[in-house]
Structure 1
């Protein structure tokens, strides 16, 4: 497994859908994950330290988990890629036993960001059909990619 960080959330210009970019800590790989509008907004709020007037869904879930004795979220793992979609699991330690729970990557990542737990990708995700290997693209394309990511108004880009 490789640890990642949330690089940004981008609004894709052709379809107006949101894409979350995970970046491996070494910076060589970008993993584009499609996310819904609400998940994009939730992740944007965490990235930009925006407080909401009342707890939203992921804050509510995080508070529930925090209130349960002997229950801790350990990690989120983007562990497979099937038919153009990423799949993920969240790992919960409860009473010294580890539980694996399937989840959408966007839900797991939004919760992980609120609870300060790491997000990993399995090694098999780091292939040309699943991610962008920045070490294998030409300099011009790497500059375009860097401009796309860096040319945002904060970590969320609006068209």
Structure 2
């Protein structure tokens, strides 16, 4: 099965779950995004490395890295290997003395380890199809923006869409959900877009 490489695009506070964060992974050679909700502790562990913050004592993921290195191993890669009932599963691929070892891991911990070892993060096409969001290329977004913009003298004030983050998506009709999805993608709110996409898929299957 062909692996697809991902990069860490951003880390944001979750709009769907209290005291949680969303790490957004982007496809290296494509225009899909994979939003994954993680806990505050794991978000902090990732943010410290992203922002190059130095700490006095090692945190849990730093300790794990130190143990692996001291035992003569290294982290070769991280694989986001499965998605079941909204939960992502991951694997750490360790290497020692030329031998590879695969260890089950929470995805948040796996990403925190990957960023410390500066190793690649991969997933598979099936995972991106189920949990990913496709975004327009910059040129396409600009063209769509031009098409939607009315003449300047007739341009209306944009309507606020902030209420969609607090409203139950089941209260929206399907055409409204399609509009909300488009707006979320334009705003690069991939976590919200994923939730809207899932609601649309649920409606279409029923």
Fold match by TM threshold 0.5: yes
The structure whose Rg is larger is 2
User: Is there any run of 5+ residues in structure 2 with no aligned partner, and where?
Assistant: 145-181, 192-206
RMSD: 2.3
| Aligned match for 1:125, one of 124, 127, 132 | 127
User: Is there any run of 5+ residues in structure 1 with no aligned partner, and where?
Assistant: 149-159
- For these two proteins, the number of residue pairs brought into alignment is 146
| Aligned match for 1:64, one of 67, 74, 78 | 67
The alpha-carbon deviation at position 29 of structure 1 amounts to 1.0
Q: Distance in 2 between matches of 1:86 and 1:146?
A: 19
* Structure 1 residue ranges (4+ consecutive) displaced by more than 6 angstroms after TM superposition: none
Q: Which has the higher contact order (CA 8 A, sep 6+)?
A: 1
Aligned residues of 2:133 and 2:190 also touching (Cα < 8 A) = no
Aligned residues of 2:90 and 2:104 also touching (Cα < 8 A) = yes
Change (3 A) 1:14 1:105: closer
Q: Distance in 2 between matches of 1:112 and 1:147?
A: 22
| Aligned match for 1:41, one of 38, 41, 44 | 44
Change (3 A) 1:134 1:147: closer
Q: Which whole-Å deviations, capped at 9, do the CAs of 1:2-47 have from their partners, x for residues lacking one?
A: 1111111111234332111111113511111111110001111111
Aligned partner of 1:155 in structure 2 is none
Q: Distance in 1 between matches of 2:52 and 2:74?
A: 23
TM-score, scaled relative to structure 2: 0.65
Change (3 A) 1:11 1:67: same
Bigger fraction of residues in helix: 2
Q: Distance in 1 between matches of 2:46 and 2:26?
A: 15
Aligned partner of 1:9 in structure 2 is 11
Q: Distance in 2 between matches of 1:95 and 1:67?
A: 13
